[in-house]
Amino acid sequence: MSPASRVLLTLAAIAVAFAAADTYVVVLALPDMMTSVGLETEELQRAAPIVSGFLLGYVAILPLVGRISDLRGRVPVLLASLAVFAVGSLVTAAAYDLETIVAGRLIQGIGGGGLIPPTLALVADLWPPQRRGLPLGIVGAVQELGSVLGPLYGAAVLAVGDWRAIFWLNCAIGLVLAAAMLPLRPSRPLRLSKGPFDKLKGQGRGRFDWPGATLAVLSLAALSLVMLAPTRLVQDVEIGRAYLPVTGDSRWLTPLALATFALAALFVLRLATARRPLVDWRAWPALARETDLWGALLLTVALGAVIVTFASAEPESGGISPAAPWLVPVAVVAAIGFVVRQRRAARPLIPRGALSSRPAWGAIVVSFFIGSALIAALVDIPFFARLTVYRDSQLDAALVLVRFLVALPVGALLGGLLLRRFPAHVLTAVAMLLSAVAFWHMATWDATSLDHPVETWSLVLGGLGFGLAIAPVNAVLLAHTADDVHGVSSALLIVARMVGMLLGISALTTIGLQAFYAASDKIAPVAEICGAGATLCDDYKDAVRDAGIAQLHAVFVGAAICAVIAAVLALLLLRPSTDTTRAEA
């Protein structure tokens, strides 16, 4: 492998880690973000789109992005994703209301999610099947490390600045990574080639479009000034005139906003007339003909409806959104439409036969159940800590999860190394059984368990198990799919995991609530526990807490069952279909 390819994969892995960190960075910044747009801390449900918007962008168009990376090449998609992520960060940083923040987070999610399929496919492009284990483990480890560092990164920035500084830094880092990756891009429009290595070969770099880049930077800078409307500029006697609306009272009718629109129009004109434009759009018509955009739209609608249904859920509703009565039918109709489109389209989004191999579609199924188990740890371990030993500190409760998260990248790297000696299906099964054991032990925790450091073993074991499964599942999928569908196949693997997480938390929350209601029904009246005339006492609080613990025990048992199902399916479905496709590193 050439030094340039090593640099490319390193930059791509760093970008994936950074996008993963951004998934969690909003956790600490959310209260300040809510306050800045006029929401009270009690209105958390209204702020839910800040989180679900990112998730929607992250997942919904992944299959389309993966397919484009198969047709157009890995590097152009990585560059485009970084650019989209940077623009989304800019919009979020400059946001002036809730809708703008949600729009920025949606754009960020599209860019962040778009980094993963081409990065995984790049590993398959650069390594033969028998040597992919370690690089896949490294990519998985770096990605999971990002989830650990995300809250720490957010806390560090918030210690010296406000929440907007997080997203300004995101924008800057995204642009720096794109600039570092830019010399590795193909020099001229790529043909829609069948060979993945063809997509990595440049053909002599053309002249960089400096006028186009200048117009793009000026447009974004002007957009930022319109959205931010800095007080010092607005109140300045001369400069402030640029912020006075020409008519009405909208900030988008000010001279500065009109100048922004003019700059954007000039940028589009430059793209249309430049011989080598900054954005190579001339290959788009051919790409559109090769990509089933209608099928992609139907799948995006289906996934989007599923995400909003479950990611915007209220706990008391049993894990689904109040809008579920109309979102679920939309998802079903769109999914049926996608299946019909897949069968009739000349060039479907997922090429026919792409996942015909048992290990290939088996990896998708296993990934779904891994996600359904994993979400229980991510959501309910901090919940348990807050309910029991850290009642007055959300931060300390969240830090308990770090013991689990730290083991994830370690397990991912170890899983890549172990693929040299063990078959992928066996390694995946063992990994998920380890996680099942960890969940089963968590189901025995009492109100004081987390006070004892020895209980950390189950957290570490669970994280290690989930990490161990990353490389072998990816390796099996890539080993049993054709080179020209690695991007879309990797995207579907991620989608399966994320949908598993959403459906899993809904189902497990419903099971947990049933256990909570059953335990609550057994609690004696307050007067009987606390004495006549009393309205509340410590004994009654402890009884309610124990009902909450029963709820989480049921969730952990359900997660253990999901992990066992994943282990059994891994043994049955991930076995090599031929002797030559054993996934080793």
541 pLDDT above the threshold of 90: no
Query: What is the residue extent of each domain of the chain?
Result: 1-186, 223-291, 293-348, 357-585
CA distances from 13 to 19, 115, 136, 495, 576 (A): 10, 9, 10, 19, 28
357-585 CATH fold: Growth Hormone; Chain: A; (1.20.1250)
Reported as a single tens digit per residue, the pLDDT across 412-434 is 999 999 998 899 999 999 999 99
Least confident of 72-81, 150-159, 350-359: 150-159
Tell me how far apart the alpha carbons of residues 268 and 508 are, in angstroms, rounded to a whole number: 49
| CB distance 102 to 149 below 8 Å | no
| pLDDT in the model for residue 204 | 42
- CA-nearest of 352, 353, 349 to 296 is 349
| CB distance 258 to 268 below 8 Å | no
The tokens for 176 are 């720096």
| pLDDT in the model for residue 371 | 93
Tell me the pLDDT of the chain averaged across its residues. 85
H/E stretch holding 24 reads helix 3-36
| pLDDT in the model for residue 196 | 42
136 pLDDT above the threshold of 60: yes
397 pLDDT above the threshold of 80: no
- Superfamily covering domain 1-186: MFS general substrate transporter like domains (1.20.1250.20)
372 pLDDT above the threshold of 80: yes
Could you check whether 1-186 and 357-585 share the same CATH topology? yes
Query: What is the distance of C-alpha 444 from the center of its chain?
Result: 31
Report, as an integer, the average pLDDT of 94-101.
89
Reported as a single tens digit per residue, the pLDDT across 451-510 is 887 778 999 999 999 999 999 999 999 999 998 899 999 999 999 998 998 888 888 888
Which residues, 6+ apart, have CB-to-CB distance to 320 below 8 Å?
Answer: 309, 310, 313, 506
Q: How far apart are the first and last CA of the chain?
A: 15
Tell me how far apart the alpha carbons of residues 19 and 368 are, in angstroms, rounded to a whole number: 21
Report, as an integer, the average pLDDT of 11-33.
83
Angle at 124 (CA atoms; ends 121, 126), nearest 5 degrees: 110
**DSSP-derived secondary structure letter, 584:** -
Least confident of 58-67, 146-155, 326-335: 146-155
* AA identity, residue 502: L
The tokens for 12 are 């791509």
Classify burial at 214, counting beta carbons within 10 Å of its beta carbon; exposed 0-12, middle 13-18, buried 19 or more: middle
Q: What whole-number percentage of the chain has pLDDT above 90?
A: 38
- Name the pLDDT band for 143 (thresholds 50, 70, 90): confident
Question: Between 313 and 12, where is the model more confident?
Answer: 12
List helix spans (H) across 97-162.
Answer: 98-113, 116-126, 133-160
Report, as an integer, the average pLDDT of 297-318.
77
Classify burial at 440, counting beta carbons within 10 Å of its beta carbon; exposed 0-12, middle 13-18, buried 19 or more: middle
Report, as an integer, the average pLDDT of 161-175.
90
| CB distance 200 to 23 below 8 Å | no
Q: Considering Cα of 266, then 267, then 271, then 277, what sign does the dihedral take?
A: positive
pTM of the model: 0.84
